[in-house]
Amino acid sequence: MASTLEEDFTCPMCTDIFKDPVVLSCSHSFCKACLQQCWDTNGSRECPVCRRRSSREHPLSNVVLKNLVETFLQERSQTASAGSEVLCILHSEKLKLFCLDDKQPVCVVCRDSKQHTNHKFQPVDEAISDLTEELKIRLETLQKKLNVFEKAKRTSDQIAEHIKTQAQNTERKMKEEFEKLHQFLRDEEAARTAALREEEEQKSQMMKEKIEKMSREISSLSDTIRVIEEKMRAEDDTFLQYTPQDPERVSGALINVAKHLGNLKFRVWEKMQEIVQYTPVSLDPNTAHPCLILSEDLTSVRHDEWQQLPDNPERFDEAASVLGSEGFNSGAYCWDVEVGENTWWFVGVMTESLQRKGNYASESGHWCVYYKDGEYRAGSPPQPPTLLTVKQKLQRITVQLDWDRGELSFFDPDNNTHIHTLTHTFTERVFPYFGNGCKLSPLRMLPHNHTDLIQHNHTVLIQHNPTVLIQHNHTDLIQHNPTVLIQHNPTVLIQHNPTDLIQYNPTDLIQHNHCLHPA
């Protein structure tokens, strides 16, 4: 029965089940595409079966036949689904072949049909095997990509959470530091107010005593005047022997206002330096390896247990390293590091572009001196390390970078000896670079005092606070950078050494200080 129906629903031209059937006036039906192709080829609108000419350019759709075909295909598909094997929906044959061109299973009848002319075929079993392997490879690639995205999302979630923690901790520490400054100012205000009150009390008491003394002297002088007047009336000349003293003039009785208010802010700031330190290098916690713990003021680093930190791109993930927060691409800089009893450390500089993930020990872009296994060496990859000789075990090490001259020098500040100098033509920004592989002792960045800072880096300090530096040493600063100082305070500098400054740039000086030399 199914075979008979299939014959009734088969197009006489393509011998396949009707697709979008149309009917001619002679009652013959064809696939719309098959009939149109035949007409286009022959150039005439004839019935391919009876050769009767059709009067219609566009034949009518055979809706009844179309519905019957759809019903037949649905029933056959359901019958095939209920069986043990999937059958071809067009020919009810087993799908034993796989068309490599159309990428779909077909039966032997489909293979011989016009639809698959010149196509390549493969047994279904082989195709399933090949496609399964190909699909596995694609799935592995997709799974790897999924893992990458999941890992990136976890990292992003960690970073988002870490941002909140960082903000809270930073705000807390800022408030603590400002509270120290506020407390210092409150204490300083109280001390200076107390000094003013003490001076007020002392001088008020002094004036009170002076006034009381003068009151007594006035009373005594009044009595003396009466006595003299009486003796004058009695013609007694003994009054001529009396010579009264002038009242004692009070000197220094007023409050020394200048002592309390003169340069008040500067003198308070100057005293504040006793509790404030300047450290030339602050460590960047966003670059620190998870096993390194930084102090709250970002001046020391110790090696400890692994922390749960986000794997952001800036962070070292293999080497126990950390960078300074500020990079340099010109100028000269210097910083001191206390290494103490640490048995495995390194200090130096690293380029901004050097990859911080994985093992970069043999890659160029970092220069350092390191101490390990009781030996000091200088590293400048890809060159082999250089064994160094020191007079005594280092407790501190000074790192001096001259970016412009391409020199990185190391010194022992305890005995003022040069350890080693590495040379390289720097072409990009470099950052201070530190490593700590020992839990015994932290590495600590040491603060600088004013004198050391001026000797180490005039330019940065001039820009930071030229007033203090001008007062510290006019001559050195004028020689180092008179332009910046002229712009900052030409009056002070002209008073210090007008000859040198006029020789340097008289135009600027005239413009900056024309009021001192009116026309």
Check: CB of residue 318 under 8 Å from CB of residue 375.
no
4 or 118, higher pLDDT? 118
The whole-angstrom separation of Cα 98 and Cα 89 is 15
**Bridging pattern class, strands 344-351 and 430-436:** antiparallel
Q: What is the mean pLDDT of residues 342-369?
A: 93
Q: Where do the domains of the chain lie?
A: 7-78, 87-119, 162-243+253-273, 292-446
Judge whether 362 and 382 are in contact, CB under 8 Å. Answer: yes
**pLDDT beyond 80 at 65:** yes
pLDDT in tens, 25-43: 888 898 988 888 888 888 8
136-186 confidence digits (pLDDT tens): 888 888 888 899 898 888 888 888 888 888 888 888 888 988 898 899 899
What is the tens place of the pLDDT at every residue in 414-445? 998 999 999 999 999 999 999 999 988 999 99
Of 286, 285, 305, nearest to 295 (Cα)? 285
From the options 3.20.20.70, 3.40.50.300, 3.30.160.60, 2.20.25.90, give the CATH code of 87-119.
3.30.160.60
* Percentage, residues of the chain above pLDDT 70: 81
CATH superfamily of 7-78: Zinc/RING finger domain, C3HC4 (zinc finger) (3.30.40.10)
Q: Is the pLDDT of residue 450 over 70?
A: no
pLDDT per position as a tens digit, 502-515: 444 444 444 444 33
Q: Looking at the domain that runs over 292-446, which CATH code has it been given?
A: 2.60.120.920
Range with the lowest mean pLDDT among 144-158, 219-233, 279-293? 219-233
Coil vs helix vs strand at 363: coil
Report whether pLDDT(208) > 80: yes
Q: pLDDT by residue (tens digit) across 252-272? A: 778 888 888 888 888 888 888
488 pLDDT more than 50:
no
pLDDT of residue 472: 42
Alpha helix stretches (DSSP H) within 362-473: 450-456, 458-464, 466-472
pLDDT of residue 454: 46
pLDDT of 127 higher than 90:
no
Tokens of 163: 């941002």
- Name the most confidently modeled range: 269-273, 313-317, 368-372: 368-372
Q: What does the alpha-carbon distance between residue 506 and residue 499 come to, in Å, rounded to a whole number? A: 10
Residues 6+ apart with CB under 8 A from 79: none
Fold: same for 7-78 and 87-119: no
Using the Cα atoms of residue 445, residue 451, residue 455 and residue 460 in order, give the sign of their dihedral.
Answer: positive
Average confidence (pLDDT) over 122-133: 82
pLDDT at 239: 57
- 285's tokens: 């916690």
169 or 461: which leads in pLDDT: 169
Question: Which pLDDT score is estimated for 244?
Answer: 65
Alpha helices in 11-123 (DSSP H): 32-42, 63-82, 108-112
Q: What pLDDT sits at residue 289? A: 95
